[in-house]
Amino acid sequence: MSIKILKYKCVVSTNNKAITMIKQNKISPTIIIAQKQTNGRGRYGNKWISSKGNLFMTLFFEINKRKSIKKLTVENCKIVKKTIFKFIKKTIKIKKPNDLLVENKKLCGILQETLTHNSKKYIIIGIGINLIKSPVIKNYPTTYMGKFIRKRINKSLIYNDIKRNYEKKFSI
pLDDT on residue 97:
87
pLDDT on residue 40:
66
Domain boundaries, the chain: 4-170
pLDDT on residue 136:
80
Task: Render each residue's pLDDT in the chain as its tens digit; 172 residues.
Answer: 589 999 999 999 999 999 999 999 988 999 999 998 886 666 555 666 677 889 999 999 999 888 888 899 999 999 999 999 999 999 999 999 889 999 999 999 999 999 999 999 999 999 999 999 888 878 889 999 999 998 888 999 999 999 999 999 887 6
pLDDT on residue 135:
81
pLDDT on residue 81:
97
Q: Which residues of 139-170 are buried (b: 16+ CB within 10 A; e: fewer)?
A: eeebbbbbbeeeeebebeebbebbbebbeeeb
Superfamily of domain 4-170: Bira Bifunctional Protein; Domain 2 (3.30.930.10)
SS3 82: helix
The answer to whether 40 touches 13, Cβ cutoff 8 Å, is: yes
pLDDT on residue 138:
80
